[in-house]
Amino acid sequence: MIKKMAGEAWKPLEFTGWKQLRKKYALSSHGRVVSYTNDIHEDGKLLNGSITTGYKTLNLHRSGSNGTLYIHREVARMFLKKASPKQKYVVHSNYNKLDNTSKNLKWATLEEMIEHQQKSPAKLAYKKIQATRTKGLKLSVSDVRSIKKTLGSKNNTMPIKRLAQKYGVSEMTLYRIKSGENWGRVK
């Protein structure tokens, strides 16, 4: 038996192959999922699902599909309207991937999703740690200064490939240093 929560709405969960399954499924605006036979509240069973890359998922084995439903995407599809057809991604406003309430979700474009991810507390903490890290690096600050000086020089005749070999790093690392993506704090 499923207890009702304040402000919670339920909708039948329909997906490719749902008619071949023994049970019916429903999804709530609070991100809860139930399987049932006749009535959600009378014979419904609350499902925990699984966690896949930090997101709550439901794995239903059905023909013609991989079976994995991402709960946040299904809640957004069923309870939120898209402002534009370009909005193909669902983001969690509070950055908690397990909070699948419809109030916490919003549709986003690729650009909006990337911008949202860059503001994540976990991403900001990671960037802070990386900016001050001193152990386990192939290059020292003096190496990077020398590389930047060489790359910025108008008289530089050394190819990127040879410069990368000299410092034991990849050419991509040098391009990232040049663009400021890596070692941007070193002048």
For 62-86, the pLDDT digits (tens) are 666 677 899 999 999 999 999 999 9
In order of 8, 34, 109, 114, 185, the CA distances from 47 in angstroms are 16, 5, 30, 31, 48
Q: Topology of domain 10-124, per CATH? A: Homing Intron 3 (I-Ppo) Encoded Endonuclease; Chain A (3.90.75)
- pLDDT score, position 165: 93
For the stretch 161-186, pLDDT in tens is 999 999 999 999 999 888 888 888 78
Residue in this structure with the two tokens 């190819």, named with its chain if needed: 159
Q: By the 8 A CB rule, do 137 and 157 touch? A: no
